[in-house]
Structures are given as structure tokens and as C-alpha cells.
């Protein structure tokens, strides 16, 4: 205990258990293959990182000079092509989609992991279905959303149609990640809780869900990424109206769709780059926020 306060002393210690360059070279000489392996994986890591950094830097370089005040004007017109309505629309759309998808996804996962019997046929069917649905391209969801929500239910191109379509799209993701997170909670926690006379509900709410929370949130973050980045499914359901979607049945465009339209029209390529920077920042912000929430929730149980 006394030593712990003496960090200055600890910093100056020369540990004997440090692997020196020379020691490494000795072992590589005996096993040259492991040096080759090291170089290969290091190369893979560097190249992957480089590709990412290149894209981000490229977007920033092209986009930042175009971040003019007009781009953030409160109202859109075809001169300023403001992305402000799209930012707000994206946030509202994301929240509404999560509001629909998260309770169903988590609920279904709780049923599969905690209530259904292990060998249950229905469980296998649901699981296979979820896996299949997770792999379907988003445009298929868009087409379905258009035929069902937009036309059959007559909601038109609307926030509601977009949110429901995206909710169905991200539901399998949330369900599967949540189920996986629940299954990694050790059975000994369940035994401990039941052994104290706690019922199923209390065990799930107090013990299992808190332990699985980081995994569940990882699924939600993944879902947010897909929602924010989605274009194909939204063009057919949410439409591309340029204003704020103030009502559930109003059409609007999300940031990604906005960018797609700008690029497609070819008249505002510079502003499209600026919008890309905004999208980048938005995704980054949402991820940081989610990680922060995950950490908060994780700390509470510790």
C-alpha cells in the first residue's frame, strides 16, 4: 500500500521482464515464419487503417471548405441547398425507428433466450428467419415499404412509412445481437438469482438485462448506423421532400438521401461534399453518445 503512493519510484524501476529487441530477434531467427506472419498482419492492419483514414481525410478536405453558413440555413431553397432540415429529419427518423424496433427486438430476444424451451421448433424458425432477413438488401425493404405502407395503407411518402420500413429492416439486427448478449450471460447468475427466491421477471430485469446491456447497446448502435446511412429504402418510403417533416404523415429527406439527391442532380456537388462532412460528424456524434451511455449503464452495475 505504501508503495502505491510512490509512483515516481515505480516509474524509475527497470523491470527485468521487458522483452528486448534483441530477445525478439533471437526468437525470430529460430522461427523466421513468425516474423513473416508479423509483417503480414502488420501490413494488413496498416492498409486497412490507411484506407479508412484516406476516405475520411478526402471527405474532410473536399467538404470542409464547403461548410458555408448557407448550408445550415434554417430553410431550404434550391440556391442554398441547406442540409438543416435533413439533419433534423434524420434525427427524428432515427428516434422514431428505434422507438418501434427496440422494444420489439429486445422483447423477441428475451422470449427466445429466456422463455422458449431450448429445442423449440418455433425458436429455430424465428432464428433462421431473422438471419435471412438481416441479409436482405435494403432496397427490397424499400420496395415492400412502398407497396405496403405507402400504397396499401395509404400513408403516402411519410415519416411513418419510412420509420416502419427501417424498423423492420433493423429489427433482425437488434434481435440477434440482443439474443447473443443474453446468451452470454452465465447461467450461474440465473441460478444465483432464482436460488434467492427471485422470480423470472426480477431475474431478467435486475440481473440478466444489466449484464447484457453492453451487447444490446452494440446492436442498437449498429442499427443507428444503418438508419443514418440508409438511402435506397427511404427514397421509396420517406420520399425526398426538402422541408422539415413536422407530422407523422409528412414526407422529408434524411441526410443520406439529401446527399444522394444533390450528387444525382449534379448541380451542387460541392455542397454534397459539405453534407458528407455533416453526415460523418453526425454518425461520429451518435456513436460517441451511445458509447458514453453504454459506459454509464455498465458502470452502474459495477
Partner 1 sequence: MDKFTIDNMNLYYGKFHALKDVTLHMPKNKITAFIGPSGCGKSTLLKSLNRMNDLVEGCKITGDIRLDGADIYGDIDINVLRKRVGMVFQKANPFPMSVYDNIAFGPRTHGIKKKSELDQIVEQSLRDAAIWDELKDRLKKSALGLSGGQQQRLCIARALAVKPEVLLMDEATSALDPISTGKIEELCLKLKDEYTIIMVTHNMQQALRISDNTAFFLLGEMVEYNSTDAVFSSPQDKRTEEYITGRFG
Residue with smaller CB distance to partner 1, 211 or 263? 211
From candidates 134, 198, 222, 293, binder to partner 1 by CB under 8 A: 198
Find the helix or strand (DSSP H, E) in which 278 lies. helix 269-301
Rule CB under 8 A: is residue 207 a binding residue for partner 1? yes
Rounded-to-integer distance, Cα 34 and Cα 31, Å: 6
Residue from the set 66, 193, 231, 237 that interacts with partner 1 by CB under 8 A: 193
The smaller minimum CB distance to partner 1, of residues 179 and 230, is found at: 179
The residue range among 52-60, 102-110, 132-140, 200-208 that interacts with partner 1, by the rule CB under 8 A, is: 200-208
Q: Which stretch binds partner 1 (CB under 8 A): 23-31, 98-106, 114-122, 234-242?
A: 114-122
Q: How far apart are CA 266 and CA 81, in angstroms?
A: 13
Q: Out of 88, 211, 226, 287, which residue is the one contacting partner 1 (CB under 8 A)?
A: 211
Q: Closest approach of Cβ 120 to partner 1, in Å?
A: 11
Enumerate residues 1-30 that contact partner 1 by CB under 8 A. Answer: none
Pick from 15, 32, 69, 119 the residue near partner 1 by CB under 8 A. 119
| Contact yes or no for 247/160 (Cβ under 8 A) | no
- Provide CB contacts within 8 A for 226, sequence distance 6+: 138, 166, 169, 170, 173
Q: Please state the closest distance from residue 204 (CB atom) to partner 1, in A.
A: 13
The cell numbers describing 75, all together, are: 430553410
Q: Is 182 in the site for partner 1 (CB under 8 A)?
A: no
**Share of the chain residues as helix, strand and coil, in percent rounded to the nearest 5:** 75, 0, 25
Choosing from 62, 127, 190, 226, the residue that interacts with partner 1 (CB under 8 A) is 190
Binding-site size for partner 1 (CB under 8 A) equals 24
What DSSP line would sit under 164-175, residue for residue? HHHHHHHHHHHH
CB of 106 to partner 1, least distance (A): 19
Query: Is the CB of 103 or the CB of 192 nearer to partner 1?
Result: 192
Note whether 210 binds partner 1 by CB under 8 A. Answer: yes
Which listed range, 72-80, 84-92, 190-198, 273-281, lies at the site for partner 1 (CB under 8 A)? 190-198
Among 4, 8, 188, 266, binds partner 1 (CB under 8 A): 188
Distance of CA 16 to the CA centre of its chain: 44
Is position 301 an interface residue for partner 1 (rule: CB under 8 A)?
yes
Residue of 176, 177, 163 lying closest to 100 (CA atoms): 163
Asked whether 201 and 259 are in contact (CB, 8 A), the reply is: no
Nearest CB to partner 1, comparing residues 91 and 198 = 198
Report the alpha-carbon distance of residue 198 to residue 195 in Å, rounded. 7
Residue 154, sorted as left (phi over 0), alpha (psi -120 to 50) or beta, turns out to be left
Asked whether the CA dihedral 218, 219, 220, 221 is positive or negative, the reply is positive
Eight-state DSSP code of residue 241: -
User: Is residue 192 within the footprint of partner 1 (CB under 8 A)?
Assistant: yes
Compute the residue count for the chain.
302
- The residues that touch partner 1, with contacts defined as CB under 8 A, are 117-119, 186-199, 202, 206-207, 210-211, 301-302
Amino acid at each position: 500500500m505504501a508503495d502505491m503512493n510512490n509512483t515516481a519510484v515505480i516509474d524509475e524501476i527497470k523491470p527485468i521482464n521487458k522483452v528486448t529487441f534483441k530477445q525478439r530477434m533471437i526468437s525470430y531467427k529460430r522461427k523466421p515464419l513468425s516474423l513473416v506472419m508479423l509483417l503480414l498482419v502488420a501490413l494488413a492492419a496498416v492498409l486497412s487503417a490507411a484506407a479508412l483514414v484516406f476516405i475520411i481525410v478526402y471527405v474532410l478536405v473536399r467538404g470542409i471548405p464547403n461548410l458555408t453558413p448557407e448550408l445550415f440555413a434554417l430553410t431550404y431553397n434550391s440556391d442554398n441547398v441547406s442540409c438543416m432540415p435533413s439533419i433534423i429529419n434524420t434525427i427524428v427518423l432515427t428516434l422514431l425507428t428505434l422507438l418501434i424496433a427496440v422494444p420489439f427486438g429486445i422483447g423477441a430476444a428475451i422470449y427466445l433466450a429466456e422463455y422458449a424451451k431450448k429445442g423449440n421448433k418455433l425458436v429455430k424458425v424465428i432464428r433462421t428467419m431473422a438471419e435471412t432477413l438481416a441479409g436482405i438488401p435494403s432496397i427490397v425493404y424499400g420496395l415492400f415499404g412502398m407497396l405496403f405502407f405507402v400504397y396499401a395503407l395509404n400513408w403516402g411518402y411519410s415519416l411513418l412509412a419510412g420509420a416502419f420500413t427501417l424498423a423492420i429492416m433493423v429489427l433482425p439486427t437488434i434481435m440477434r445481437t440482443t439474443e447473443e448478449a443474453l446468451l452470454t450471460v452465465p447461467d450461474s447468475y440465473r441460478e444465483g438469482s432464482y436460488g434467492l427466491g427471485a422470480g423470472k421477471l426480477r431475474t431478467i430485469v435486475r440481473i440478466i438485462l444489466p449484464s447484457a446491456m453492453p451487447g444490446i447497446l452494440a446492436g442498437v448502435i449498429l442499427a443507428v448506423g444503418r438508419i443514418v446511412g440508409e438511402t435506397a429504402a427511404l427514397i421509396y418510403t420517406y420520399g425526398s421532400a426538402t422541408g422539415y417533416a413536422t407530422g407523422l404523415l409528412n414526407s422529408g429527406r434524411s441526410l443520406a438521401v439529401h446527399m444522394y439527391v444533390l450528387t444525382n442532380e449534379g448541380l451542387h456537388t460541392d455542397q454534397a461534399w459539405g453534407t458528407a462532412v455533416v453526415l460523418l460528424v453526425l454518425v461520429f456524434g451518435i456513436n460517441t453518445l451511445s458509447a458514453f451511455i453504454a459506459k454509464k449503464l455498465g458502470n452502474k452495475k459495477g
